[in-house]
Amino acid sequence: MRLIAVAFALGAAWLQTRPELPEFRWLWLTPLGLTLAAWLPVEGRYRHAHGLAWLAVAALAGFYYAAWRAELRLAEALAPAWEGRDLALQGRVVGLPEATGRGWRFGFAVERAAAPGAAVPGRVMLNLYDFANPDAEPVRAGECLRLTARLHRPHGNANPGGFDYEAWLLERDIRALGYLTAAPGRVGDCGGAWRAALDRAREAVRGRLQTALAGQPYAGVVVALAVGDQNAISDAQWTLFRHTGVTHLMSISGLHVTLFSALAFWCVQAFWRRAPGLCLYVPARKAGAAVGLAAAAAYVALAGFGIPAQRTLYMLATAVAILLASRATSATRTLAAALFAVVLIDPWAALSPGFWLSFGAVAALVLASAGRMESLPAWRAWIRAQAAVSLALIPALLAIFHEVSLVSPLANAFAIPLVSLVVVPLTLTAAALPWDGVAWLAHAVLALVMQGLVWLDALPQPVWHGAQPGPLGIGLALLGAAVLLMPRGLPGRWLGAVLFLPLLFPRIERPGPGEAWLHVLDVGQGLAVVARTQGHALAFDAGPLYASGEDAGRRVVAPFLFAQGITRLDGLVVSHDDSDHSGGAASLGESHRPAWALSPIAAQSPERLSPHGHTLRQGLPRMTPCRAGQSWTWDGVTFEVLHPPAHHYANPNYSDNERSCVLKVTSPHGAALLPADIERLGELNLQERVPEKLAAEVLVAPHHGSGSSSSPAFVAAVRPRYVVFSAGHRNRYGHPKGEVVQRYREAGAQPLRTDREGALEIRFTQQGIEVEKAREVRQRYWQGR
């Protein structure tokens, strides 16, 4: 049964790696496999074939079951004809609305679309922007609204080693995104009364805790532990949690739900055993399990039935059902049954890192305790458990996040009991009772935990980053972890450590001598380019600052660099201070500590702020102004700044765009020109000063392909084979302009677009220029649907 459950889960997981859904005509293989499995004898020479047949049938069943569920979910899609058109919708706000830097973002359950024939999904995610609706009132949880919105199908950035936003939306059944074109109107009663009441209660709890802890540094964490709203946790705090390996503790996680349920179980069981009359009707263990499950369900409801919390509830319900049925079973059988139940309910679970980390942690604890008869003191058992979990999760952490916290065992050793067994119960008490003192006490205990985390983070090397490992390295490391967790005395147990070497030191593909690789990352409406030579890496711009407050440097560029095994940049060029180019520079400076930085910003006020208020120099080394004529050579590849001339800084008539740094990268196998946001005046200046240096095989289109750039004379001077447009999906500027794309086509250039093809990798090699598109390399069945 255990292996069959694992095979079923792996079959469902395999579907999530497919570029398209399978044809169901091959489903006839399932009854054939069942017949074969039933026909083969259990004993004798065919016993192994019997087992393999059952595993194959289970894997095939999991694969096609997940495909059937995916077909049903994808069928509820926004028709392409209705993208970008005003739609009058009526429905209810689902979950807690989130305040963003530009307004509100909220889930919306659509009950009715006024447009005849409009096919609108049942659940969408909407934005209400302040600049478009200055008089609109804040959106409240559970409200029934009538609104006008413009929707589009799910779309996310596609980058190597990056987060798959489209998969995240699919798992949560959000099948369209959009924004309001006018302030919404409130209407009377609508469906989903019980869910609306729950969401209003959660919003009331959030408001009460925010009021009680106003001005306190960790109020956002307390709120997150109560109702699952992580909006008020700062980027600096998330960085601290990631470095110390306690991210799972600072929101409603499976660990908190499990330990809260266990706390209720222990309390009820202790009370029940003191009442012999009750034990005659229901054994204390069963009563405690039932109440523990009810407590977990209440906590998951308060969390808004988030997907990770739901998975934990399914696992606990499976374990409790086995207990209530009085079935004697092993821990591994219970874990396998929970795995089967989770995948049956949520076949997209394999897309979530939490799924692998949760089951991996429990499996590590089961394996670490197997075959050991000695009784250890509680503190030693706790240390052993932390060591086992930390060791077993290294392969998953490196594969998913490209980093491992070296201080995680120490941090979790004191943070787990304090947060899960003290802070969480106090927080839930404060949520249930109107006593501000309880919330203050929870915050005080949390502050002690945070101080310990700050001390650990101050150590010289709190986190270790590794390149993206291959499947073989991950598999060998998992085997090595299993060997190391075996009881002492197993011959050759030390070989488990050797099996970790391919994971920790993977083979990394790098440019050869004289080669240059250009990575134009998919950052939405903005620009971020990484240029690599054999032994050096340069970032040209760092992408935008997003409306949510996050930035591309932290979300896109840094994960990409870590996945490539790049832990430090040799240089950074910030072309100018528009936030779609400089928004991620500070984060990138903190994560990859560039040796130097060039930017026109250095010639301006040292405390120059972006339009969104962040100091561009924060986290960066001393910046030097870009000036035409600057150049350097790395590994046979020449980098040269062509623009702006020094005297442009003294002329206030030049805009920031016209003063953008223009960089040319020249290798023996071809050249690339990166003109940032220069417009026609800058293009004319380049044609007058350095016309002989403009020719390049690859051109990153100036100003994202706007109509104010890419003049016919400039296009003719560059004569590119490829032109790259870095633009956001359905951006409000209409970049790239159709006439600009056509102009490049007529000049013989092949257009490449990040909004359609994802991140672009362009290699200048001895064999010629090679182009790789992220959406072609990593196709998934949900993309564009």
- Mean pLDDT value across residues 307-311: 85
- Using DSSP bridges, classify how beta strands 597-598 and 623-624 pair: parallel, antiparallel or unpaired: parallel
Residue 691 predicted with pLDDT over 90: yes
Confidence band of 613 (pLDDT split at 50, 70, 90): very low
More confident call, 51 vs 770: 770
403-427 average pLDDT score: 92
Instruction: Say yes or no to pLDDT of 46 above 60.
Output: no
Residue from 554, 552, 596 nearest 726 by CA: 552
* Average pLDDT of the residues in 635-660: 91
Residue 209 pLDDT: 94
Beta-bridge mates of residue 540: 529, 573
The dihedral built from the CA positions of residue 619, 624, 627 and 632, taken in this order, carries a sign that is: negative
Q: Report the pLDDT value the prediction gives residue 132, as an integer from 0 to 100.
A: 65
Average of pLDDT values for 347-358?
88
**Bigger pLDDT: 441 vs 613:** 441
Going by C-beta distance under 8 Å and a sequence separation of 6 or more, which residues neighbour residue 757?
158, 773, 774, 775, 776
- Percent of the chain predicted with pLDDT > 90: 60
| Confidence at 630, pLDDT banded by 50, 70, 90 | very high
pLDDT tens-digit readout, 458-470: 998 999 998 989 8
Hey, what are 649's tokens? Answer: 């800084």
Q: What is the residue-wise DSSP string for 576-620? A: -S-HHHHTTHHHHHHHH--S-EE-GGGGS-TT-B-TTS-BTTTT-
How many Å is the maximal CA-CA distance in the chain? 97
pLDDT at 606: 44
Q: What is the mean pLDDT of the chain?
A: 89
pLDDT at 30: 67
pLDDT digits (tens, 9 = 90+) for 128-164: 988 666 777 888 999 999 999 999 999 999 999 889 9
Out of 485-489, 495-499, 695-699, 730-734, which region has the weakest mean confidence (pLDDT)? 485-489
C-alpha distance from residue 627 to each of 513, 602, 648 (Å): 28, 11, 9
Query: What is the mean pLDDT of the segment spanning 633-661?
Result: 92
pLDDT at 608: 44
* pLDDT tens per residue, range 17-36: 999 999 877 676 666 666 66
Buried b (16+ CB within 10 A) or exposed e, 613-647: ebebbebbeebebbbbeeeeebbbbebbbbbbeee
Q: Are 166 and 783 in contact (CB under 8 A)?
A: yes
Average pLDDT (761-771) is 96
CA nearest to 586, candidates 611, 558, 547, 548: 558
- The DSSP code sequence of 65-128 is HHHHHHHHHHHS---GGGTTSEEEEEEEEEEEEEEETTEEEEEEEEEEE-STT----SEEEEEE
Residues 6+ apart with CB under 8 A from 339: 5, 6, 9, 359
Question: Picking from 32-41, 395-404, 511-520, 604-613, which range would have the lowest pLDDT averaged per residue?
Answer: 604-613
Instruction: Give the model's pLDDT for residue 610.
Output: 40
- Residue 43: the pLDDT is 60
Lowest mean pLDDT among 163-172, 369-378, 555-564, 631-640: 369-378
Which residues, at least 6 apart from 741, have a Cβ–Cβ distance to it below 8 Å? Answer: 705, 725, 751
pLDDT at 254: 78
According to the model, what pLDDT value does residue 50 have? Answer: 63
Q: Do residues 258 and 354 make contact, with C-beta atoms less than 8 angstroms apart?
A: no
Give the whole-angstrom CA distance, residue 514 versus residue 763.
11
Give the whole-angstrom CA distance, residue 498 versus residue 520.
37
Confidence of residue 494 (pLDDT cuts 50, 70, 90): confident
Please give the average per-residue pLDDT across 619-647, as a whole number: 91
- Cα–Cα distance for residue pair 583/579, rounded to 1 Å: 5
Query: What are the helix (H) ranges across 405-532?
Result: 408-418, 424-432, 436-457, 471-484, 495-498, 501-504
pLDDT digits (tens, 9 = 90+) for 55-107: 888 888 899 999 999 999 999 999 888 998 999 999 999 999 988 878 889 99
Confidence grade of residue 47 (pLDDT, cut at 50, 70, 90): low
Residue 343 corresponds to which amino acid? V
pLDDT of residue 523: 97
- Would you state the pLDDT for residue 607? 46
| Chain position carrying tokens 């890192």 | 353
Within 10 angstroms of residue 37's Cβ, the number of other Cβ atoms is: 18
> Does 253 score more than 50 pLDDT?
yes
Least confident of 245-259, 410-424, 510-524, 720-734: 245-259
State the Cα torsion 617-620-621-624 to the nearest 10°: -50
Token pair listed for 713:
């004379």
Arithmetic mean of pLDDT, 667-691: 96
